[in-house]
Amino acid sequence: MADHLPILQVILPLIAAPLCLLVRHALACWLIATLVSWLCLAIAVLLLHQVLDGGTIRYQLGNWVAPWGIEYVVDRLNGFILVIVAAIGAVVAPYALRSIDSELPERQIGLFYVMYLLCLAGLLGITITGDAFNVFVFLEISSLSSYALISMGRHRKALHAAYQYLVMGTIGATFFLIGVGLLYMMTGTLNMADLADQLKPLAGSRIVLAAFGFIVVGMGLKLAVFPLHLWLPNAYAHAPSTVSVFLAGTATKVSLYVVLRFIFTVFGFEFSFVNQPLGPALLVLAIAGIVVCSLVAIYQDNVKRLLAWSSVAQIGYMLLGLSFATAIGLQAGLLHMFNHAIIKAGLFLAMGCVFLRLGSCRIEAIAGVGRQMPWTMMGFLLCGLSLIGVPPTAGFVSKWYLVLAALEKGWWPVAALIVLTSLLAVVYVWKVVEVAWFRDPPGTAGRIGEAPLAMLVPLWIMVGANLWFGLETSGNVDVARAAATALMGAVQ
Amino acid sequence: MNAGLLVALAVLVPLAGAGLIALSGRWPNLRETITVFTAVLLFIVNILLAVLVLDGETPALHVAEPVEGVPFAFAIEPLGMLFGLVASFLWIVNSVYSIGYMRGNKEGHQTRFYVCFAVALASTMGLAFSANLFTLFVFYEALTLSTYPLVTHAGTEKAVRAGRVYLGILISTSIVFLLTAILIVWQQTGTLTFAPGGILQGRVSDALGLILLVLFMYGIGKAALMPIHPWLPAAMVAPTPVSALLHAVAVVKAGVFTVVKVIVYVFGLDYLQNLGGSEWLLYVSGATIIVASVIALQADNLKRRLAYSTVSQLSYVIMAAALFTPMAVAGAVLHIAAHAFGKITLFFAAGSIYTAAHKTEVSQLDGIGRRMPWTMAAFGIGALSMIGLPLTAGFVSKWYFLSGALDTRSVVTICVIFASTLLNAGYFLPIVYRAFFRPAPEGGPHDDHGEAPFPIVLALTVTAAGTIILFLMPQLPLALARAVVGG
């Protein structure tokens, strides 16, 4: 059994999805989805544990030996990502019960869980597979299901947002496929480890260079790298609350993982950072993204949109860590990926609670909600502090390492910029907090109660995680460091 | 009792108090009882800790280590102990006062008020007892955030605007300058832990040392060095108990406490004495003393006058510390305590006048001393302490400060001390004169009042008495101050 954990990680949600389609009963589907999400988390934790103890796991699908067969590979990096994705799933699933119930028509609820499970399977599959084409397959599974999930939003604009994402996402996936195709053409293999070997002598080839460009730009679209981010704010803002939480915590993280996997493992550090100016290019995009999107976030009048813009800015921080092309920078980027997942999930969870009670996330609608929903908004405040990077929250730790990484390179202006842009986060977080706590509710509002426990508990698990990983960081910092040194070490 | 546990209690007691206050919001009497009880308990914890510290121990507690080499930890040295004692004692008095004030003025949102107050005190304790710059920074920010709802308590447009100034200045200076300074210290030395004699000696270049001094002094916005002082007058829109405890004691003292702490335990006095160019701090703080006093002289609004007096008195502490001699630093430490008692008395009196007579301007106070003898007598004592006359605590600290200035033959400092003594007399004595020796105007709108409610009078009597007792028996603060400078 323990030997088959890698395949179980993906196959469980993949099989549960059609099962839900057959059942169609809302509560039963929810039970299946929750159970599967929790099992996935258990498997992911076990896998990470095995990897940390015994090194990289290689699993041959159907005993077809790689590079002919498809191979699942779990090392420290994707073991870490698997845990992030599965953990967000495990927290979101119980939350969905009440939230989805109030936001979707009865007949769609069963379908929602089908899509959710498919999306989870897709994201886990992208992460775990060691096969370049298999990444594309799972990418399509997760993308198609997330288009459907976003379009379930209550407002008509959700359809538009989903369509926009579909167009952009398809372009991204196509680029990625073209890149993989070019690589296959040059090497005749799709296995990542094998690709890495075969590409070494081909470093000067223009076709490989083109493949590199297609793959990085294609995944950059999915990852919402500034300026390829335009789909993201609409998608996050108009999707059902649960979907916003899930995507904010997982989708972009997995895309970033694919980028890392390709530039470090497949193409190699030498090719990406020494032969190509990837570092400076990422640095410029990251800084532009951080500054521009933080500023845009300040002027949003819908909290979910505000958070979405902030997400694009935060992706900039992750890329910034990557652009340093040092072990500590990469570690900071990975750490921020983990921390941002729990921060943004927490914030969107809080907004889901507010949406449940108020039916809106517009700034003016949430006036005075802090007094009526103290637990929800206190959770929002704490996660907001983490987003700013106030100690002792998780957000502080990753920003600390980012600044250290910048200082290690001697890039003082960049270090200063990281600190200064945190002030922009202060402005947009405080904008929400001030309205929610210190403004009187609009006269028309009736008395509303606190969100139900089924939603508060997931929220406070995330809040607790933000505080826990702000103080007791040995676990995630060590894993991030191990993953970063493994990536860097494999090439140096 | 276990020292680590006591340290933890110093932060947890007010936090638990805040929780209980929030739960008991529906029953005001119970809520206020809990507030006072929490304050007393906190003071007892501080006394127990002080006994240990006076014995030469360093009660410490290691909580966690979020980033390698940067623990979240507490360690109590004499300076923090003195600050903790003063703040926790005055919290008791202030809680009694708050009851009279908040009820007398029928203020809204009283539960939020008491909860935030308790959280602010918990932050103050954490700040006073922190073992390194990182922990200090955490509580420094927590103190800013927890006092924001108190500043904007009234909820009016004016209060919210003042709150923005408050938050804007304090948060941005702390993140842009203070955090940067902390990061540089970490980058250069690999440690953030406070150590006697400082941690920078021989580890940073002189130029960087000077830059760090600027970053620290302007990063600690709570010390209100000009020109980053406007948050303090802005914060005066808050109810008077807030101005009294937080903006005369906890918040501003947290600022100058941090200044002294950084000067003594991060830079080290020896290091700064030999650092060329560090005299700028002397001039800037001296200028702040004089300019703020001149503004206070012109202010008609009583709380505004007190606020500018605070700005000026805070720079006394900074200037004393900026002499970088043990004697003057002892004066700085003592002044933290002395000014706390004097200024809280003055604010209590201002709130008392507002509650009983609804008067806020100095020019309205003619003859009020006859109706409110206790209040104005206490005000007089607080004023004398500000001027630094004998029989009040202000004299003791000024004595040490002046001795330090004479030791170093710093003419500038001596001139500033004399000028500011005159200015202090110039803006405080006329108030006392008006109150007692001018006739009350005939037929004013609110001249049928007597003394303020009993809790208010009790509180200001206690702090006024404290101001005198500190002069007569300065042994405890002196012992702690000497221990800070290792004399």
- pLDDT tens digit string along A41-75? 999 999 999 998 888 888 888 888 878 889 999 98
Q: Residue B403: exposed, middle, or buried by beta-carbon count in 10 A (0-12, 13-18, 19+)?
A: middle
- Return the closest-CA partner of residue B102 out of B21, B20, B44, B10: B21
Q: How far is B429 from chain A (nearest CA, A)?
A: 40
Is B64 close to A471, i.e. CB distance below 8 A?
Answer: yes
Average pLDDT over residues A435-448: 74
Q: Which H or E run includes B61?
A: strand B60-67
Domain boundaries, chain A: 277-492
Q: Is B441 on the interface with A (CB under 8 A)?
A: no
Can you read off the two tokens belonging to residue B477? 């603060």
Q: Is A364 on the interface with B (CB under 8 A)?
A: no
Is A471 close to B72, i.e. CB distance below 8 A?
Answer: yes
Rounded distance between C-alpha atoms, residue A238 and residue A248, angstroms: 13
Measure Cα distances from A457 to A93, A94, A99, A350 in Å: 12, 9, 13, 11
Q: Is A396 on the interface with B (CB under 8 A)?
A: yes
Q: Is B152 on the interface with A (CB under 8 A)?
A: yes
Give chain B positions within 8 Å (CB) of A403: 183
* Residues with pLDDT less than 70, chain B: 1, 443-448, 487
Strand partners for A59 = A72
Measure Cα distances from A401 to A329, A338, A415, A419, B141 in Å: 7, 13, 10, 12, 20
Residue count (chain B): 487
Q: Is A53 on the interface with B (CB under 8 A)?
A: no
Q: How far is A393 from chain B (nearest CA, A)?
A: 9
Give residue A143's pLDDT band: very low, low, confident or very high (50, 70, 90): very high
Q: How far is B203 from chain A (nearest CA, A)?
A: 17
Residue type, B358: H
Q: Is B211 on the interface with A (CB under 8 A)?
A: no
Nearest CA in chain A to B173: A423
| pLDDT (0 to 100) of residue B119 | 92
| pLDDT (0 to 100) of residue A444 | 61
Residue type, A450: E
| pLDDT (0 to 100) of residue A492 | 44
| pLDDT (0 to 100) of residue A445 | 59
| pLDDT (0 to 100) of residue A297 | 93
Q: How far is A259 from chain B (nearest CA, A)?
A: 27
Q: How far is A381 from chain B (nearest CA, A)?
A: 11
Least confident of A111-120, A482-491, B215-224: A482-491
| pLDDT (0 to 100) of residue A443 | 67
Is B180 close to A416, i.e. CB distance below 8 A?
Answer: yes
Q: Is A410 on the interface with B (CB under 8 A)?
A: no
- Return the closest-CA partner of residue A228 out of A181, A277, A172: A172
pLDDT beyond 70 at A490: no
pLDDT beyond 90 at A271: no
Is B64 close to A472, i.e. CB distance below 8 A?
Answer: yes
Q: Is B167 on the interface with A (CB under 8 A)?
A: yes
Q: Is B69 on the interface with A (CB under 8 A)?
A: no
Q: How many CB pairs under 8 A join A and B?
A: 62
Interface of A with B in 467-486 (CB under 8 A): 470-474, 477
Is A392 close to B72, i.e. CB distance below 8 A?
Answer: yes
Average confidence score pLDDT of chain A: 89
Q: How far is A464 from chain B (nearest CA, A)?
A: 15
| pLDDT (0 to 100) of residue B204 | 85
pLDDT beyond 50 at A485: yes
Q: Which H or E run includes B64?
A: strand B60-67
Give residue A148's pLDDT band: very low, low, confident or very high (50, 70, 90): very high
Q: Cα–chain-centroid distance for residue A185? A: 31
| pLDDT (0 to 100) of residue A436 | 87
Rounded distance between C-alpha atoms, residue B178 and residue A432, angstroms: 26
pLDDT beyond 80 at A464: yes
Strand partners for A74 = A57
| pLDDT (0 to 100) of residue A412 | 85
| pLDDT (0 to 100) of residue B487 | 54
| pLDDT (0 to 100) of residue A176 | 95
Q: Is B190 on the interface with A (CB under 8 A)?
A: no
Domain boundaries, chain B: 279-487
| pLDDT (0 to 100) of residue B121 | 92
Measure Cα distances from A114 to A119, A433, B483 in Å: 9, 36, 69
Give residue A124's pLDDT band: very low, low, confident or very high (50, 70, 90): very high
| pLDDT (0 to 100) of residue B149 | 87
| pLDDT (0 to 100) of residue B446 | 55
Give chain B positions within 8 Å (CB) of A396: 66
| pLDDT (0 to 100) of residue B445 | 57
| pLDDT (0 to 100) of residue B371 | 85
| pLDDT (0 to 100) of residue A491 | 45
More confident residue, B28 or A288: A288
Is B65 close to A474, i.e. CB distance below 8 A?
Answer: yes
